[in-house]
Chain A
Amino acid sequence: MLCKNIAVNPSCQGFSDSGVQEVFPLCTETISVITNDGRNIVGILKGFDQATNIILDESHERVYSTKEGVQQLVLGLYIIRGDNISIVGELDEELDSSLDLSNLRAHPLKPVIH
């Protein structure tokens, strides 16, 4: 049922009766997702639905720590359940390539506490 309902490229849209479609960034963009447990996953948006479930392609996780620079772990094709998503950000590729991730140190984000 999920596969039937979830929108997938190239048309890539959410439900027409859903507000999510209105507020969601367009597909084929590179996006940065922050999950409720504080992880940051970057990948190409391939689809989503009205529950903010998301399909990401060519994704990787960016692991922040204070001891070393940002680690990038390759994840590949990923589905993230909407329940577990805090923020979906449109990644500005120009800004992103100007960042020196290997020298960026920070505490990992705190998990969401409801």
Chain B
Amino acid sequence: MLFFSYFKDLVGREVTVELKNDLAIRGTLHSVDQYLNIKLENTRVVDQDKYPHMLSVRNCFIRGSVVRYVQLPPDGVDVELLHDATRREARGG
């Protein structure tokens, strides 16, 4: 639940999602759900010459199960806050 809330706070920010098939897609985070499925707007594939498969796609839904990394904006994470929250959750509070 913690990371679901965390990603919800990132809505509207620019992120790069790297998939488990090595495709990397950059776009504005539109929404996230409980499975960490991600919807991006104004998407572009990072290496379009190598991967022209999504040239005519501007909005897309990415299944949470195929996400390898989400690259965040540099100021997108408050490490202290996240540390505290993960410790609280680990304690079961």
Contact = CB atoms under 8 A, between A and B. Distances in A.
A78 interface: no
A112 B68 CA distance: 10
A19 B58 contact: no
Interface residues of B, number: 32
B12 to A, nearest CB: 15
Contact of B53 (A19, A22, A96, A109): A109
B54 interface: yes
Interface of A: 18-20, 22-25, 32, 34, 36, 38, 40, 52, 62, 64, 82, 85-93, 95-96, 99, 104, 106-107, 109-114
B57 interface: yes
Contacts of B21: 34, 36, 38, 86, 109-113
Interface in B21-77: 21-23, 25, 30-35, 37-39, 43, 50-63, 65-66
A86 B64 CA distance: 8
A19 B56 contact: no
A7 to B, nearest CB: 15
B53 A64 contact: yes
B22 A19 contact: no
B34 A25 contact: no
A89 B57 contact: yes
Given A19-B33, A19-B35, A107 B57 contact: no
